[in-house]
Amino acid sequence: MSNKTIIIVGGALAGPAAASRAREIDGKARIILLERNTRVSYALAGLSFHLSGEVKSLEELNREREDYFRQVYQIEVHTRTEVKRIDPKKKTLLVVSHGKEEILSYDRLIFATGASSIHPEGLPKVSNFRYFRTLDDLAAIKQSLKKGKKRILILGGGSMGLEALDGCVRGGAEVTLIEKEKHILPQFSENISKLVEEKLSKKAKLLTGVNRLEFITKNDSVTEVIADGKKIKCDFIVSAIGVYPRTELLKEAGVKLQQDGTILVNEFCQTNIPHIYACSICVSVPSPRGPVWIPQAAVSDKTAQVAGANAAGDSVKLGVFSASMQIRLPEWEVGRVGLTGKEALLEAGKNNLGKVLILAKDKEPYLPGSSEITLELFFHLKSGKLLGLEAVGTNIKSRLDAFAAAFTLNGTIVSLAQSDFAYTPAFGTARDALNIAATVALQIQKGQTKIVEPSELKRNRKDFFLLDVSLKKTKNKEFDDSIPLESLRTSVKELKTKLEASRKNKIAVISDSGRRGHLAFCILKENGMTAFNVIGGKKLYSLFGD
């Protein structure tokens, strides 16, 4: 150990974690933590829980304050201090603290500035607007709710926007959410997004595919927003339309950046300048598909642990990241792991991308409180390699975690189908939802079942004879015929006659959840008919327009 100086730039989440870890490795180093805002070490991922009322005080999100780091870790903490320039040759920083310029020297530098919020285009400077990023933002939103100004407009339907929505709805707000893409959660598949939208629409107003926003102001406040001609009255605007990495200082200092502006680090969190380390959501991290940007709190912490340890003299390596994420919603949860649907398509190619969507239960259906889980699994058709998973429902975390482990270890649908998960009826089913999804994937790979997505079926409706095989016979005009599964074997001859009369050569079988549809597919296949099972069943099919 030596009396070296380690300076950490950025004090929200990663910076304090890196500083603390560095102190645990080196007890003699001088460690300085610089933060331009008023607080350090706040729980960024917990913002929505204060809005909901579950975390009563902002101080609960900001427990480890400046005094804590000074007293416990002997770390020098400087808030309201901004770094203006980095000189890597001289190993110095030009900082402005409380209006005064100062030069600080270092032996090791850890860059942990994170990201900045993107400002909504056309929005002027007003008093009733905040990003969803800091404790000061949170305090302003909470104050609006306390004053009874509860018409909250949230811009952005990604993960951050939905976290803000969850907190505001639980806190009693009347929420309108606006997203420019055609569905919320643009990184998720349209199937999963549709299911989330259907559930959320009962709790908030959702406007998607919005191209143009106009802001109507009075005095210093926005009173109305016009979204593609639709007027929306509001008391407060929260922006969660995205972030960009704060890496300009490092770029000026000669540090190599990725095309998206993130910092390219090695497995030790070193930049191309060895004495400069980087962590938090301004770095790209290792993944099975190479360096990727994953702007999430868990990534900040993991990279901070590595950067802090190594800057202090240890030799710790980053693991492989699976891009796991989970969002709590007012009634459900939604999450994903691995490649998105678009990334999986690029990875596997159109002819080799396999996809499964299943509806299952989070626990044994005979137990009170048993509820639905929907999983969408992406895999490589030829090799069976796991590519990605999306989930919506309740109690989905264990499924996401199990898939993350399998994905990181280059698992396949074979291993996942036979994975022996912990079981008790209160928390799962004897054959877990993950086992079921992987088993269906194997059936697709072996040609034992064929599927059609609701969106594809709607687009090519004229090519399919749509057969309902639900328990009870229905008279829905949307379906060409309705034959309960139990009667299908004895009705094949009659069905063939109707199919011939319709001049269609393909049958799409649909049921409530998809399980009965698969069994119907098997019967029709045995009888020489070309059949497809509609994934997601009637529930998902009904969410797609003509």
Check residue 12 and report its DSSP letter.
Answer: S
123 in any annotated domain: no
Please tell me whether residues 256 and 235 are part of one structural domain: no
Rounded to whole angstroms, the Cα distance separating 291 from 288 reads 8
Residue in this structure with the two tokens 């143009």, named with its chain if needed:
212
Ramachandran angles phi, psi of 503, nearest 5°: 65, 25
Compute the distance between CA of residue 125 and CA of residue 437 in angstroms, rounded to an integer.
49
The neighbouring-strand residues paired with 531 are 507
- Which residues lie closer than 8 Å to 82 by C-beta, 6 or more apart? 34, 36, 95, 96, 97
CA distance 5 to 31: 6
Same domain, 110 and 248: yes
Are 80 and 97 a contacting pair, CB within 8 Å? yes
- Tokens linked to 350: 């159109």
30 and 76 Cβ atoms separated by less than 8 Å: yes
CATH number at residue 494: 3.40.250.10
Quote the tokens at residue 274: 């060895």
Residues 88/253, Cβ–Cβ less than 8 Å: yes
Buried b (16+ CB within 10 A) or exposed e, 150-186: bebbbbbbbbbbbbbbbbbbbbebebbbbbbeebbbb
Residues 395 and 296 in one domain: no
Is the same domain home to 435 and 336?
yes
Kindly report the three-state secondary structure assignment for every residue of 353-408. EEEEEEEEECCCCCCCCCCEEEEEEEEECCCCEEEEEEEEECCCHHHHHHHHHHHH
pLDDT 10s per residue in the chain (546 long)? Answer: 468 999 999 988 899 999 999 999 999 999 999 998 777 755 566 778 878 888 777 666 655 567 778 888 899 999 899 999 999 999 999 999 988 999 999 999 999 998 999 999 999 999 999 999 887 888 899 999 999 999 999 999 999 999 999 999 999 999 999 999 999 999 999 999 999 999 999 999 999 999 999 999 999 999 999 999 999 999 999 999 999 999 999 999 999 999 999 999 999 999 999 999 999 999 999 888 789 999 988 899 999 999 999 999 999 999 989 999 999 999 899 999 999 999 999 999 999 999 999 999 999 999 998 999 999 999 999 999 999 999 999 999 999 999 999 999 999 999 999 999 999 999 999 999 999 999 999 999 999 999 999 999 999 999 999 999 998 888 888 899 999 999 999 999 999 999 999 999 899 999 988 889 999 999 999 999 999 999 999 989 999 876
CA distance 340 to 192: 12
Do 223 and 254 belong together in one domain?
no
Q: Please give, one letter per residue, the 3-state secondary structure of 171-212.
A: CCCEEEEEECCCCCCCCCCHHHHHHHHHHHCCCCEEEECCCC
Half-sphere exposure of 16 (CA within 13 A, CB side): 24
Is residue 320 one of the residues assigned to a domain?
no
Rounded Cα–Cα distance for residues 233 and 225 (Å): 7
392 falls within a domain: yes
In a domain, 121, yes or no: no
Q: For strand 236-239 and strand 151-155, is the pairing parallel, antiparallel, or unpaired?
A: parallel
Rounded to the nearest 5°, which phi and psi values hold at 523? -65, -45
Are 251 and 276 contained in the same domain? yes
**Single-letter residue type at 120:** P
Residue 325 counted as domain residue: no
Per the structure block, which two tokens stand in for 269?
A: 């969190």
Same structural domain, 260 and 167: no
Residue 232's domain is classified under what CATH number?
3.50.50.60
> What is the tally of structural domains in the chain?
4
For the four alpha carbons of 291, 296, 299 and 304, in that order, the dihedral sign comes to: positive
Copy the structure tokens of residue 244.
Answer: 């960009």
Neighbour order of strands in the sheet with 230-233: 213-218, 221-227, 230-233
Tell me, yes or no, if the pTM score tops 0.85.
yes
Which residue, 311, 343, 366, sits at the end of a domain?
Answer: 311
Is residue 546, in this structure, part of any structural domain at all? no
Residue 339's domain is classified under what CATH number? Answer: 3.30.390.30
- 124 located within any domain: no
Q: Is 134 inside any structural domain?
A: yes
Per the CB < 8 A criterion, the answer to whether 171 and 52 are in contact is yes
The residue among 445, 463, 481 that closes a domain is 445
Of 241, 261, 292, the one marking the end of a domain is 241
Do 294 and 195 have their domain in common?
Answer: no
The helix or strand, by DSSP H or E, that contains position 338, with its residue range, turns out to be strand 333-338
- 252 and 221 share a domain? no
Domain around 468: 451-541
In angstroms, rounded to a whole number, what is the distance separating the alpha carbons of residues 294 and 281?
Answer: 7
Residues 354 and 440 in one domain: yes
> 501 has which bridge partners?
none
Distance CA 25, CA 20 (A): 9
Q: Do 306 and 339 have their domain in common?
A: no
Question: What amino acid occupies position 324?
Answer: S
Same domain, 434 and 336: yes
